[in-house]
Each structure stands twice: as C-alpha cells, then as structure tokens.
C-alpha cells in the first residue's frame, strides 16, 4: 500500500488520537450505562435495576452514589465526545490529502455535534440540584428544586427513549461526520479498506437509529447494538493506523 506524505507536525496528534480511541473502546463507551445495567442483572455491580426517570429518583441516586449518578446521566458520553474531537482532528490530518473539502465538512459536523452535546448534557447541573434539594429545609424549597430538576430532564433524560433535541442532533452530526470520513478512507493509502468499511457500517447502521426511533420504537435498541460491534472494530483499526502513521513521521 502506497504511503501518504503527511506533515510531521501531525505526529503527536496521531498518537493522541490512537490513545483516545483505545480509551473509548476500553472505558468510555457510549453504551456504558446500559452495560452497567446488564452487569447489575448478573449481580456484579450495585446499581439500580432501571435508570431513574423522575427528578426525585435522580436526586436520591446522586445523594447515595454521586459518581454512579453522573455516569448514568451521561458523564461517560461527555468524555467520549471530548475524546472523539481528537479523533476528528487526526482524521483530518490523515485524510485531507485525499479530499480536503469533504474532511472540512466532516470535522465541522463532528465539532458542531460535540459542542451541541456538551451544551445539552445536564449531568453536573443535576448533581448540583440534588445537593440543593438535600439541603432544603422547607417543602416549598424542595418543590422548587424538583421543578428545576424536571425542567432539566425535559431537555435531557437518560431514563427515557425521548432524550432531548440536543442528544439527537449531536448524535446525528457525529455519525454523519464519521460516515463522511469513512467514505474518504476508501480512497486513502493511509487506511486499508477493512478500516473504511468498518467505519461505514458503524456510522451507517448508527444513522438507522433515527428512522427506527420514528417508525419502530420497540426496536430502537437494535441500531445502537449492531453499530456498536462495528464501531469497536473501527476504533481499534483506526487506532492501529494512527500509531503506524505517527511512527512513520
């Protein structure tokens, strides 16, 4: 396979993106909260049997297990989105010699999606409200904090299928960015075809989440589950390629 001539200035970003991808595979997986629930069924972790839905239940979880509450409320996803920012930058560096315009579009969509998710994630705001609720001395104060909590949950609630416009928009943008980058990979000597096709399947199947959400909600788990398999493969293959590119520079 012919090697792509790349700017040596990208070397450490390639290494950083490779490490970020491995962290996303091992620790910061998008479906980590669901996995915790699965392990709970096996008796491996002391977590709730179901994700809380109402503000009062979230407040109780944050009071008793603050870190677990943050994790179930999207802290893992928040870290995942930050890490994928390094990946999009590195993909731009590796793929811009092939199709610069397409990669500018991919990075723009990816970073817009990341920004939307960070702005819409209410994990720390919910934690703060839970502390204030616990410290409230009157029922009026408690009712006020519960109302504020429900208002936050109306924007983002991991316990429901309808998780808020910010969540959906960020997911859509990041998946589109990943799909564009994967298609560009097909024409790049820096990545093999297996890596490109894994990315196309991971992001393409992930995008099916939206029509399924609209027309077949009982099956909404299916696109996420299927795409997750290819996403793990894609992340590992891209990480390997990044380390190889970094070593060449």
pLDDT grade for 232, boundaries at 50, 70 and 90: very high
| Residue pointed to by tokens 């983002």 | 156
CA distance 33 to 17: 24
Domain enclosing residue 82, as ranges:
8-53+77-125+162-248
**21: nearest Cα among 247, 249, 234:** 234
Give the pair of three-digit tokens for residue 189. Answer: 């000597």
Within the chain, where are the H helices? 11-26, 32-41, 55-64, 66-70, 76-120, 123-135, 139-155, 165-185, 193-207, 209-215, 221-248
For residue 28, tell me if it sits in a domain: yes
For residue 47, tell me if it sits in a domain: yes
CA distance 37 to 47: 7
Residue 2 in this model has a pLDDT that exceeds 50: no
Residue 121 in this model has a pLDDT that exceeds 90: no
- Mean pLDDT for 213-221 is 86
For residue 137, tell me if it sits in a domain: no
Give the pair of three-digit tokens for residue 57. Answer: 């239940």
Tell me what pLDDT residue 177 has.
Answer: 98
CA distance 249 to 245: 7
Tell me what pLDDT residue 43 has.
Answer: 45
Exposed/middle/buried for residue 243 (C-beta within 10 Å: 0-12, 13-18, 19+): middle
CA distance 238 to 90: 10
For residue 131, tell me if it sits in a domain: no
Half-sphere exposure of residue 61, counting CA atoms within 13 Å on the CB side?
23
Pick from 69-83, 88-102, 107-121: least confident: 69-83
Percent of the chain with pLDDT over 90: 59
Asked if 242 contacts 15 with a C-beta cutoff of 8 angstroms, the reply is: yes
Which of the pair, 239 or 65, is modelled with greater confidence?
239
Residue 233 in this model has a pLDDT that exceeds 90: yes
Summarize pLDDT for 152-174 with one digit per residue, the tens: 888 888 877 767 788 899 999 99
For residue 143, tell me if it sits in a domain: no
Number of domains the chain is built from: 1
Q: What are phi and psi of 65, to 5 degrees?
A: -145, 80
For residue 85, tell me if it sits in a domain: yes
Which of the pair, 63 or 37, is modelled with greater confidence?
63
For residue 67, tell me if it sits in a domain: no
For residue 68, tell me if it sits in a domain: no
* pTM summary value: 0.87
């Amino acid at each position: 396979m012919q090697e792509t001539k790349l700017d040596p200035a990208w070397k450490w970003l390639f290494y950083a993106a490779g490490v970020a991808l491995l962290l996303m595979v091992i620790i910061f997986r998008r479906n980590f909260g669901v996995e915790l629930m699965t392990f709970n069924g096996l008796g491996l972790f002391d977590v709730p049997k179901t994700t809380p839905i109402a503000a009062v239940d979230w407040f109780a979880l944050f009071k008793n297990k603050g870190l677990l509450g943050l994790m179930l409320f999207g802290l893992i996803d928040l870290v995942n989105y930050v890490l994928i920012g390094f990946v999009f930058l590195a993909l731009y560096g590796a793929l811009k010699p092939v199709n610069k315009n397409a990669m500018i579009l991919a990075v723009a969509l990816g970073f817009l999606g990341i920004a939307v998710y960070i702005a819409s994630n209410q994990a720390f705001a919910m934690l703060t409200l839970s502390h204030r609720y616990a410290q409230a001395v009157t029922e009026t104060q408690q009712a006020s904090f519960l109302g504020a909590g429900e208002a936050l949950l109306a924007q983002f609630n991991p316990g429901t299928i309808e998780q808020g416009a910010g969540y959906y928009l960020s997911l859509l943008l990041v998946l589109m960015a990943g799909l564009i980058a994967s298609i560009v990979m097909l024409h790049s000597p820096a990545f093999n075809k297996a890596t490109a096709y894994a990315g196309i399947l991971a992001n393409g199947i992930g995008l099916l989440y939206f029509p399924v959400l609209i027309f077949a909600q009982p099956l909404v788990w299916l696109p996420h589950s299927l795409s997750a398999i290819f996403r793990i493969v894609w992340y590992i293959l891209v990480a390997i390629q990044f380390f190889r590119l970094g070593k060449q520079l």
